[in-house]
Copies of this chain bind each other. A is one copy, B any other.
Amino acid sequence: MTRTSSRLANDAWEALLTAHAALIKHLAADRIWHEVTMREYDVLYTLSKCDRPTRIGELNRNVLLSQPALSRLVERLAERGLIERSADPADGRGVRLSLTEAGRLQQRRVGGRHAVGVARAVAAELSEEEMRQLEAICRKLSGADRAAGPDRNDTATSEPEEVTT
């Protein structure tokens, strides 16, 4: 690890953090978070990308929350009828989560409007080429290695967001 490489890495990370904070704040100002908060949406969105019932632990790998916090967030969403919890037939300890129809609708409604805000904010600053580069670099940065398992099935079945508004 050379001195200059370390410096480059830290500068890049700080820039990413700054951009993240700025965009989050900007997007949080959108008037679309009355019914679901950004964190709740994060869970709904993540679930919407899964074609089959998902374990809480699996969700927890994608969501930046402690396991107990996610567990309770899931509980609240279930009480609100947005997601469904069912026992895992293959593992008595596990809980499998899936969106209810209401949850799917809610996710689509909020997601559509949210996507507009994201597009506006990002496309206002970056060229299409830059957006592509950013995505590619961030994907590399997410590095399959972290997360320990070398055999991660990195949700190759992407189909990120539907702007069906």
A101-128 residues at the B interface, CB under 8 angstroms: 115-116, 118-126, 128
Partner of A160, one of B10, B26, B133, B147: B10
Partner of A11, one of B5, B10, B135, B143: B135
In the complex the two chains form, what is the Cα distance from A52 to B13 in whole Å? 24
Shortest distance in angstroms between A115's beta carbon and chain B's nearest beta carbon? Answer: 5
17 A–B contact pairs at CB < 8 A?
A: A3-B163, A4-B128, A8-B135, A9-B122, A10-B115, A11-B135, A11-B161, A14-B161, A15-B134, A16-B16, A17-B20, A19-B138, A21-B62, A22-B143, A22-B147, A125-B143, A126-B137
For the complex, is A132 an interface residue (Cβ under 8 Å from B)?
Answer: yes
* A interface bracket (residues with beta carbon within 8 Å of B): 35 or more
Q: In the complex, which residues of chain B have a beta carbon less than 8 angstroms from the beta carbon of A13?
A: 23, 118, 122
